Structure 1
Amino acid sequence: MSVRAKYDVVIAGGGILGCYVAYFLKQRNPAIDVAVIEADPTYEYASTVRASGGARRLFSCPENIAMSSFSIERIKNFSTEMAAGDSPAAIDWVEQGYLFIVSGVKAMRLLEENAHVQRSLGADIQLLDREGLKHLLPSMHVADLDGAAYSPGDGWCDPNSFLQGTRKKAGSLGVEFISDRVAGFTNTGGRIAGTILAGGATVKADSFVNAAGPWAAQVSAMAGMCLPVSPLRRFEHYFTGHRRIEPLPYVKDLNRLAFRSEGQGFSGGLVNSDEPRGFNFDVDHGYFDKVVWPALAHRFPTAFEGVKCHRTWSGLYEQCELDGNPIIGNWTGNHENFYVVAGFSGHGMMHAPAAGRGIAELIDKGRFETIDLSRMGYERVLKHAPYRERGIL
């Protein structure tokens, strides 16, 4: 497909976030011309296809809870809502819940406070004490735990199908996907005027969106914007235990151990928050035995005293170094037609529908019309005013 000289909106990044921005723009205005610039149409290194696929309401910030609720409903209805023509969009949603386990009085108090906020926004949250945990999951070692928050309506999906289905739907609505890389921007009168592509073309537009995931800081830097987003390598593992246990929800703890049932085995890992930042996709095949297995064996000794890791792969979080929350909005007071939707710190897939809708609202109407995401804007970066989750990772 030849690249046109002018579009209404150009989006840098064709992952799940860029696709959802494009989709909602076309939903709101079918006549709008939208181009998505994606350097790797195979998505070999895209964060979405290397993700675990989880979607949960267990957050403390109201915006994140509201985004999750909206997104989960979209994921649950994905097969019909995102069908292109007569072909349903299979996504393999598994509604088996999320379980956030903690130790200590202070941590339990935070879970209780968070549950109050979550319930006020319509989330079904159950607070469990140690006995309740043991009743829910008899195989779990709970002696060192004080309780948990359980959200039975949460779950996970197949992230690759999620991405491919969204891209296909956006394309069916007329979104153009351009296989190229953003190499720079031109500006006129305090606004971004054009995108310079690595292939040599310059594409003009009225609005530009940075949805480049782990590469978002590099894209913003080309526009003169400092974005505190860094690539953080993390590993995902598929493994089996030597004994069958009850079906698991997505289990998470404060040490960033996170895993769930997957077919006849399990999928998950333990994120090293101190991992050096950078575009590193190398796999440490000893990481599972050194770090993940001891945590699994401690928490579920019956199943994981003996465990076999069948596969390990790496992916990148787009880590927001300011506060771990995403940056969603435009560059107010500077290039105001330059929008950012990045820095989700591992939550990009689950929040993509809501965040994509929010950016589409901003571009179309100049304001958030449904979920008010103003506190997630770039202004907090300029003011160095972190907006963090409380007691939740």
Structure 2
Amino acid sequence: MTTSHTQFDIAVIGGGIIGSAIAYFLLREDPALSVCVIEPDPSYEFASALRSSGGCRVQFTGKENIAMSLYSLDFIRNFETTMAIGDRPAPVDWVEGGYLFVVPPEHTRQLEINARFQQAESCTLDLLSPSELKDRFPAMYVDDLGAGVHTPQDGWCDPYGLLWGFRRKAVSLGATYIADRVVAANHDATAAKSVILDGGNVISATSFVNATGAWSGDVARLFDMTLPISPVRRFEHYFTPGSHVGHLPYVKDTARLAFRSEGQGYSGGLVDGTVPRGYNFEVDHNYFENVVWPAVAHRFPAFEAAKCHRTWSGLYEVNELDGNPVIGAWNSRLPNLYTVAGFSGHGMMHAPAAARGIAELIIHGQFNTIDLTRLGYERIENNQPYPELGIL
């Protein structure tokens, strides 16, 4: 086996949507940088974002999450032209289908507080009573609801197009993609020095970024860093109703039911946050009938005769501390090691904003576009959760 030792300014570990977006923003910010992206699965067969529904919404309670959503929504709307290479566009099939959060009466006050805060942060929304929900969405059962919030400018896109748009653009700007897996890391008391790949090659860099999603906790341990991020299996289903329902926004409730229109049918699921942690991609083909169908048929009776056509699995990268991402440097130990992970299901939607933020932090030493300081690693070290109170 022949080995090599290569030096880069920045080594991004993980070449999914977030890692590829980071490479793009780094090189857009400073074209003179040498940037490599280390990705063990160039087919992206198990990439979490490609197994998601591609949603992007502003209904959060954290100021940073709202700001990242507003930035990312605008970025995704213009993605096709921004990421074009020559006369080749980068389509992502953006659908401005809206989001709808619904809650029972006991959660109405919190939803109203959230809505007022979101409006103060420049979000467009409608706070709806049960009767108003029924008028707007006639197929919905509303008798057990207290309120809903509809954000009509939210929507969803094609994650596959988003990933490859970022990757192709990053490569066109000079990023080097390395198809291999990081299996070890070298560091001293104050800085990360290099990573060793499964094939034996060594990559040295001035800065390293851990953008490995559900695998980020394992990668962090290679640097002797504790990162409470776990892989959690989730299912996505494509199904059709027994009678006409019509177009629906991305509907979410407090039981974590979440689904939206998709072509002639609907796509979504219901996340069980109590499942054992681990890299499990096995599909439970009874999950829709046992868990999802009762919930969706209760909310929309036309789904009493729903038919599930396909079920697939993916992973959430869950931050066990507070559900929010970790975006920043390990300032107290290895300040040239940066983390962008732990989005707990919101990685695709926040990728443009988070990637731009980490690029600014690496190049300029500070966040310029959106202040993401509160999402830094310090809260992990201090065991100080910064929770998101919106429906996850």
Residue 246 of structure 1: aligned partner: 246
User: Deviation digits for residues 19-49 of structure 1, max 9, x if unmatched?
Assistant: 1111100010011000000000000000011
- Pair 1:339-2:343 in alignment: no
* CA deviation after TM superposition for structure 1 residue 313, in Å: 0.2
Residue 308 of structure 1: aligned partner: 307
Residue 257 of structure 1: aligned partner: 257
Amino acid at match of 1:73: D
Instruction: Say which SS state the counterpart of residue 95 (structure 2) adopts.
Output: coil
Give ranges in structure 2 of 5+ residues lacking alignment: none
* CA deviation after TM superposition for structure 1 residue 188, in Å: 3.5
Residue 271 of structure 2: aligned partner: 271
2:189/2:333 contact within 8 Å kept: no
Residue 35 of structure 1: aligned partner: 36
**Structure 1 CA distance, aligned partners of 2:82 and 2:279?**
35
Residue 9 of structure 1: aligned partner: 10
Instruction: Say which SS state the counterpart of residue 184 (structure 1) adopts.
Output: strand
Residue 376 of structure 1: aligned partner: 375
Residue 228 of structure 1: aligned partner: 228
Instruction: Say which SS state the counterpart of residue 357 (structure 1) adopts.
Output: helix
* CA deviation after TM superposition for structure 1 residue 195, in Å: 1.1
**Structure 2 CA distance, aligned partners of 1:60 and 1:179?**
38
Amino acid at match of 1:112: E
**Structure 1 CA distance, aligned partners of 2:56 and 2:340?**
18
- Percent identical among aligned pairs is 56
**Structure 1 CA distance, aligned partners of 2:386 and 2:260?**
29
Residue 110 of structure 2: aligned partner: 110
**Structure 1 CA distance, aligned partners of 2:369 and 2:196?**
33
**Structure 2 CA distance, aligned partners of 1:102 and 1:124?**
19
Shift in CA distance, 340/66, structure 1 to aligned 2, threshold 3 Å: same
Q: How does 1:96-135 map to 2 (within 5 A)?
A: 96-105=97-106, 107-135=107-135
2:59/2:390 contact within 8 Å kept: no
1:60/1:392 contact within 8 Å kept: no
* CA deviation after TM superposition for structure 1 residue 189, in Å: 5.1
Shift in CA distance, 104/43, structure 1 to aligned 2, threshold 3 Å: same
* CA deviation after TM superposition for structure 1 residue 8, in Å: 0.3
Residue 318 of structure 1: aligned partner: 317
Instruction: Say which SS state the counterpart of residue 259 (structure 1) adopts.
Output: strand
2:252/2:391 contact within 8 Å kept: no
Residue 68 of structure 1: aligned partner: 69
User: Deviation digits for residues 104-140 of structure 1, max 9, x if unmatched?
Assistant: 24x1111111112211221101100101100110000
* CA deviation after TM superposition for structure 1 residue 78, in Å: 0.7
Residue 56 of structure 1: aligned partner: 57
1:99/1:249 contact within 8 Å kept: yes
**Structure 2 CA distance, aligned partners of 1:134 and 1:200?**
61
**Structure 1 CA distance, aligned partners of 2:242 and 2:90?**
35
**Structure 1 CA distance, aligned partners of 2:57 and 2:191?**
37
**Structure 2 CA distance, aligned partners of 1:358 and 1:166?**
16
1:100/1:251 contact within 8 Å kept: yes
Give ranges in structure 1 of 5+ residues lacking alignment: none
* CA deviation after TM superposition for structure 1 residue 185, in Å: 1.1
Residue 199 of structure 1: aligned partner: 199
Amino acid at match of 1:98: Y
Q: Normalising by structure 2, what TM-score?
A: 0.98
1:63/1:373 contact within 8 Å kept: yes
Amino acid at match of 1:157: C
Q: How does 1:160-239 map to 2 (within 5 A)?
A: 160-188=160-188, 190-239=190-239
**Structure 1 CA distance, aligned partners of 2:325 and 2:362?**
18
Residue 93 of structure 1: aligned partner: 94
Amino acid at match of 1:65: I
User: Deviation digits for residues 325-347 of structure 1, max 9, x if unmatched?
Assistant: 00000001100000000000000
User: Deviation digits for residues 78-104 of structure 1, max 9, x if unmatched?
Assistant: 110111221111111000100000012
Amino acid at match of 1:266: Y
- Pair 1:285-2:298 in alignment: no
**Structure 2 CA distance, aligned partners of 1:388 and 1:17?**
22
* CA deviation after TM superposition for structure 1 residue 391, in Å: 4.2
**Structure 2 CA distance, aligned partners of 1:3 and 1:74?**
38
Q: Normalising by structure 1, what TM-score?
A: 0.98
2:322/2:386 contact within 8 Å kept: yes
**Structure 2 CA distance, aligned partners of 1:298 and 1:179?**
46
Amino acid at match of 2:273: S
Shift in CA distance, 270/186, structure 1 to aligned 2, threshold 3 Å: same
**Structure 2 CA distance, aligned partners of 1:125 and 1:285?**
36
1:3/1:178 contact within 8 Å kept: no
Instruction: Say which SS state the counterpart of residue 71 (structure 1) adopts.
Output: helix
Quick check: 305-314 or 184-193, which moved more? 184-193
2:324/2:343 contact within 8 Å kept: yes
* CA deviation after TM superposition for structure 1 residue 224, in Å: 0.6
**Structure 1 CA distance, aligned partners of 2:209 and 2:122?**
31
**Structure 2 CA distance, aligned partners of 1:297 and 1:343?**
32
Runs of 4+ in 1 over 6 A off after TM superposition: none
* CA deviation after TM superposition for structure 1 residue 191, in Å: 0.3
**Structure 2 CA distance, aligned partners of 1:125 and 1:3?**
54
Residue 136 of structure 1: aligned partner: 136
User: Deviation digits for residues 261-305 of structure 1, max 9, x if unmatched?
Assistant: 00000000000010110000000000000000011111100x201
**Structure 2 CA distance, aligned partners of 1:117 and 1:19?**
32
